[in-house]
């Protein structure tokens, strides 16, 4: 059996990027006979010497993705002294970026991992907003970062999705006079809740447009002022009972309301620090 050639991968993160590149190159040289040995989370020069010694002994190659200048310089120097081939997989592209965009890199490890974590956190928040939209599962109220409550057509769902894109887990609860709010709403911290109110005239206008879009009769109770006043009065009663902040969304775009909520929660986080 043909002996496998060895490639050592050194990374200040987990080494996935380097391994992917090495495998892509190895595929051009009968990659089945390449053995990859990964050395992740290298943060000290002391972590580098054993790899260089092993590579020298095995007549192996080192491929690395180190962004901390001191570590990279040390690896290059020691590999050269020991006659070991060490390939910097990031530097050519890094230099191209510097030349093209006239900017200096951060030289901080694990930034890609941080970006991945932020991406998955956002996806998780979006899935949460869909699952706990429109009060469909009250168990989500305890898990949520933010709980929105208001009558129908106060932009609870679009607000939930917008905030989810900022990585907030949002649940929303419709307030309807004929249906008691879920008990969980009165047991969670009031600081998590935000009430959404709207002027009767604006709500009448929005609901009439909604009725037209659905092809229903214009005289349905949903858009009548009597019904709107009843719903708003009940919603305000619930919000006062919870003692949550209330935002008037009458003439605000979703982005504007979301900005107010985000600012509100950021200020609270600062106070808790």
DSSP string, 22-33: HHHHHGGG-GGG
243 is in an annotated binding site: no
218 is in an annotated binding site: no
CA-based end-to-end distance of the chain: 62
156 is in an annotated binding site: yes
Give strand ranges (E) for the chain.
5-11, 34-39, 61-65, 86-88, 146-150, 170-174, 193-197, 246-248
Task: Give dist(CA 100, CA 95) in Å, integer.
Answer: 9
250 is in an annotated binding site: no
151 is in an annotated binding site: yes
**Closest C-alpha to 90, from 8, 11, 31:** 11
157 is in an annotated binding site: yes
150 is in an annotated binding site: yes
Task: Give dist(CA 84, CA 39) in Å, integer.
Answer: 16
Residues making up the annotated binding site are 150-157
Residues making up the annotated binding site for ADP are 150-157
């Amino acid at each position: 059996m043909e002996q496998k050639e060895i490639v050592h991968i050194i990374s200040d993160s987990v080494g996935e990027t380097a391994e992917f590149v090495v495998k892509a190159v190895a595929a051009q040289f009968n990659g089945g006979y390449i053995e990859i040995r990964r050395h992740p989370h290298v943060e000290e020069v002391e972590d580098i010497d054993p790899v260089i010694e092993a590579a020298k002994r095995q007549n192996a190659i080192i491929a690395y993705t180190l962004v901390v200048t001191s570590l990279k310089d040390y690896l290059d120097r020691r590999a050269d002294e020991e006659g070991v081939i060490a390939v910097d997989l990031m530097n050519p592209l890094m230099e191209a970026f510097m030349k093209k965009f006239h900017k200096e890199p951060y030289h901080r490890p694990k930034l890609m991992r941080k970006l991945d974590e932020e991406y998955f956190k956002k996806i998780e928040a979006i899935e949460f907003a869909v699952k706990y939209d429109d009060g469909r599962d009250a168990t989500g109220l305890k898990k949520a970062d933010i709980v929105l409550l208001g009558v129908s057509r106060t932009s609870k769902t679009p607000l939930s999705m917008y905030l989810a894109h900022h990585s907030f887990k949002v649940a929303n609860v419709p307030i309807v006079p004929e249906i008691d709010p879920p008990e969980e709403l009165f047991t969670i911290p009031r600081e998590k809740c935000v009430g959404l109110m709207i002027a009767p005239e604006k709500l009448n206008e929005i609901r009439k447009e909604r009725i037209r879009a659905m092809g229903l009769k214009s005289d349905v109770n949903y858009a009548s002022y009597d019904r709107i006043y009843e719903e708003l009065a009940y919603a305000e009663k619930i919000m006062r009972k919870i003692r949550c902040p209330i935002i008037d969304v009458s003439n605000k775009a979703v982005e504007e309301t979301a900005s107010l909520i985000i600012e509100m929660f950021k200020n609270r986080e600062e106070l808790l620090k």
